Amino acid sequence: MNVLDKRWVNRSFAAAAKQYDQFAELQRQVGSQLIERFPPSAIQGLDLGAGTGFLTKQLALSQPDAEWIALDLALPMLHVARENLKALHNLHYLCADAEALPLRDESVGQIYSNLALQWCEHLAVLFADCRRVLKPGGQLVFSSFGPDTLKELKTAWSKVDDYAHVNEFKSADAIVAALSQAGFKEIQFETTVFETAYPTVMHLMRELKGLGAHHVNSGRKRGPTTSQQLQAMIAAYQELTGDSVLATYEVFKVGAR
């Protein structure tokens, strides 16, 4: 079974920090929908996996009197976030692992996370820690990719070799089970499927690299991909989707108390 390589996750997103925003249209779209669906109401809140700060900014603007912590594993991401958000006050920046929160018990009223928790391996442990730092009645709000994400790319690579070239994401059932195991009782769960068109398969690959979202599972191929293998994958992808290079993104939006 493939597991997430946390060191590679950190390295990938650190390397992507400077160009991340130019590729993150889907992340911005999902983040806006997340806040619209689950409006913030806390006086102290946490943005878990804040990246370059898009969601942190929306949260801070919607709650001007609240204090927000932007937490991310990749320090270069937080450097960009601090620069992006320098006009805003009541923000704090914390470089830490979401699976080991260095926060006091019952210290925040809401936790938000936008398309970041899929990079965490032990969801039950993560959710239990979120519940620990939430105040009584506090809310965890997050979006995450589902297993149908990039299914076309996964199928195309399967025609080339037996390596795992595409990240594996948790199912809805697995996420709900982990939330329940952590003690969350009220769980609201929605699934949205986005289809994004790209001019070429290479445009998709460049976007994934620019986001730091290329393959970070332990089962990835360790050596370089040859030109012949890449061309074989592109041919298989185009055979699968026709003239339009489409990529599927399955997105879960969740609120839990």
d(CA 57, CA 61): 6
d(CA 150, CA 52): 23
What would the pLDDT profile of 39-56 be if each residue is shown by its tens digit?
A: 999 999 999 999 999 999
- Domains of the chain by range and CATH? 6-145+170-196+250-256 (3.40.50.150)
d(CA 114, CA 79): 18
Angle (CA) 185 189 195, round 5°: 160
What would the pLDDT profile of 8-33 be if each residue is shown by its tens digit?
A: 677 777 777 888 888 889 999 999 99
Helix (H, G, I), strand (E, B) or coil at 69: strand
CA dihedral 208, 211, 217, 218 (to 10 degrees): 110
- How confident is the model at residue 225, as a pLDDT? 75
CA atoms within 13 A on the CB side of 255: 13
159: pLDDT strictly greater than 80: yes
